[in-house]
């Protein structure tokens, strides 16, 4: 295995959330935040918290929202040398509100923020030189420029024998844009570890049921698929082994970030040589612990925190 950093490329945002469930954004109301955010940023922060060397290619504005993110990532151990600081554009943002039925609505400013400046420049190439594993978030493929940057990074990493993981993290609407579907299919063709949510498994295949979707994707050369199943845990499939990992039951406060922390923990554990079973257990714990904390990146965990969480949930389960 190619040792080296885990690297990702994509959006850095601040997230600002409506304080109360059911609160509208069409009138004034209390807001909470700004929180450090962006799916790839949450992913890489979780890798850093587990103590694995890592870095991120991105761009922020020269403003408080940008510095909040850079300082946070740096403090947690992420190499921030390939995060560009734009004089021209502000840091990206996402405002989120929660409906009474638990659904989330977002107001995003990504395309017209510093995120539009993300590129594989000299600093990014230096970081990719040390990269052993590269992670792609589908949510980062929001423009042709981003798709090109992602392809360039993948080619550099693959040429050096590195591996790729891919979390589609898409909304269905994105797939109606033909170029976007082509980009997602391209990423699937290159990835070693595929990390979809249950419904995303079906979106990228012609299959009518989950088992055939898994077969179809494995036949394309993907080595392993880990399906995220929210409050139902997760499962692992590589064509020979199928494992189902039960959830660590917990009270959901804020679901944002669970999938990102789950993926980061699974990938990191595998690169540290942990078994599939153990990696799934830690990934489930990481996702479950994230939903107990308000704020997208606030629930990222260290191994010590995951160990404590696992034994606490097991004791609670035993006495229930």
169 is a site residue for ligand ATP (CB under 6 A): yes
229 is a site residue for ligand ATP (CB under 6 A): yes
Of the candidates 205, 296, 294, the one whose C-alpha atom is nearest the C-alpha of residue 259 is 296
Give the CA distances from residue 176 to residues 80, 103, 182, in Å, rounded to whole numbers and listed in that order: 34, 21, 11
- Rule CB under 5 A: choose which of 93, 169, 235, 265 binds Mg ion: 169
265 is a site residue for Mg ion (CB under 5 A): no
- Rule CB under 6 A: choose which of 35, 236, 262, 309 binds ligand ATP: 262
Calculate ∠ Cα 18-23-27, nearest 5°.
Answer: 95
Q: Is-contact 167 263, C-beta < 8 A? A: yes
C-alpha–C-alpha distance, residues 244 and 225, integer Å: 12
294 is a site residue for ligand ATP (CB under 6 A): no
Least distance in angstroms from the C-beta of 275 to ligand ATP: 17
259 is a site residue for ligand ATP (CB under 6 A): yes
197 is a site residue for ligand ATP (CB under 6 A): yes
- Rule CB under 6 A: choose which of 21, 107, 211, 231 binds ligand ATP: 231
Q: Is-contact 15 260, C-beta < 8 A? A: no
Q: Is-contact 259 167, C-beta < 8 A? A: yes
235 is a site residue for ligand ATP (CB under 6 A): no
Q: Is-contact 248 309, C-beta < 8 A? A: yes
Contact stretch for ligand ATP (CB under 6 A) within 22-30, 70-78, 146-154, 287-295: 287-295
Of the candidates 127, 158, 136, the one whose C-alpha atom is nearest the C-alpha of residue 5 is 127
Interface ranges with Mg ion (CB under 5 A): 169, 259
Interface ranges with ligand ATP (CB under 6 A): 169, 197, 228-231, 233-234, 247-250, 252, 255-256, 258-259, 262, 284, 287-288, 291
């Amino acid at each position: 295995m190619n040792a080296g950093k885990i690297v990702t490329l994509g959006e850095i945002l601040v997230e600002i959330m409506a304080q109360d469930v059911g609160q509208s954004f069409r009138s004034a109301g209390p807001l909470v935040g700004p929180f450090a955010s962006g799916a790839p940023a949450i992913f890489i922060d979780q890798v850093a918290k587990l103590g694995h060397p890592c870095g991120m290619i991105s761009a922020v504005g020269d403003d408080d929202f940008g510095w909040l993110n850079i300082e946070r990532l740096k403090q947690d151990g992420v190499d921030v040398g390939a995060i560009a600081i734009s004089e021209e554009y502000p840091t990206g943002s996402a405002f989120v509100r929660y409906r009474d039925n638990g659904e989330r609505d977002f107001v995003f400013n990504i395309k017209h923020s510093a995120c539009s400046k993300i590129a594989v420049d000299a600093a990014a190439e230096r970081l990719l030189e040390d990269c052993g594993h590269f992670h792609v978030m589908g949510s980062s493929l929001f423009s042709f420029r981003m798709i090109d940057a992602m392809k360039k990074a993948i080619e550099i990493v693959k040429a050096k024998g590195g591996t790729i993981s891919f979390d589609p993290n898409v909304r269905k609407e994105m797939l109606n844009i033909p170029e976007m579907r082509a980009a997602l299919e391209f990423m699937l063709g290159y990835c070693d570890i595929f990390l979809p949510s249950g419904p995303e498994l079906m979106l990228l295949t012609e299959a009518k049921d989950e088992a055939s979707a898994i077969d179809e994707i494995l036949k394309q050369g993907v080595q392993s698929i880990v399906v995220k199943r929210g409050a139902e845990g997760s499962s692992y499939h590589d064509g020979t082994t199928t494992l189902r990992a039960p959830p660590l039951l917990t009270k959901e406060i804020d679901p944002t970030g669970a999938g990102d922390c789950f993926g980061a923990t699974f990938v990191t554990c595998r690169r540290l040589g942990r078994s599939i079973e153990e990696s799934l257990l830690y990934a489930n714990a990481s996702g479950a612990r994230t939903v107990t904390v308000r704020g997208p990146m606030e629930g990222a965990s260290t191994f010590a925190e995951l160990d404590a969480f696992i034994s606490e949930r097991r004791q609670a389960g035993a006495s229930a």
